[in-house]
Structure 1
Amino acid sequence: MIDVNKNIERIRLSKGITRKFVAKKCGKTQQWYWKVEKGLIIPDAINLQLIAKALDVDVKNFFEEKLNETLNKQLA
């Protein structure tokens, strides 16, 4: 099973972006975004797109099982 919330967190951390920044870019509270990363809230497609835009990645990266390979291919 793919843990979308964990992939979102990994991407954010790899880019050195704060939760506060992502929440603000999405027009949400920090608490809301924290719950997304912890898997307590499952964001809908619109909110996933907002998060992807804030992190400057394609939303499909959230669903990749081999996240590192995907990110490395994008950077190449």
Structure 2
Amino acid sequence: MYQIGKKVREVRMMRNYSQEWVAMKAGITQGALSKIEKGLTEPSAATLKKIADCLEVDINVFFEKPVSNSVWSTDSLIGRLIARVRYWWWRRSNR
């Protein structure tokens, strides 16, 4: 399962914001934000919206799936296309 807290921490660190500052702006305690980031508790939708506003991102950012590291992997469109061409070529040459 993809953890929302991990993404919250990632965005917060990328913005160079402290837990204390984000928690204060979101109206929650620093301990509560810490628990969210560690995955010990799930935030309510309202709290997550407040955190997103503090971090200046859309709330959907916390739900996005990680992007594959390579365009050549079979998770990408190019990777799937290359895999099909390779399979077609292999079948053709083994007739």
- Alignment partner of 1:43: what SS? coil
Normalising by structure 1, we get a TM-score of 0.82
Summarize deviations over 1:27-69 as a string: whole Å, max 9, x none. 11111110010111100110110000010000000011227xx
Pair member with larger Rg:
2
Aligned to 2:6: 6
How big is the shift at 1:24? Answer: 0.1
- Tell me: higher relative CO, structure 1 or 2? Use CA pairs within 8 A at least 6 residues apart: 1
Calculate percent identity across the aligned residue pairs: 37
Aligned to 1:71: none
Taking only aligned residues, the RMSD between alpha carbons, in angstroms, comes to: 1.1
Aligned to 1:36: 36
What letter corresponds to residue 24 of structure 1 in structure 2? M
What letter corresponds to residue 19 of structure 1 in structure 2? Q
More helix by share: 1
Number of matched pairs: 67
1:61 maps onto 2:61 in alignment: yes
Segments ≥4 residues shifted beyond 3 Å: none
Normalising by structure 2, we get a TM-score of 0.67
Aligned to 1:21: 21
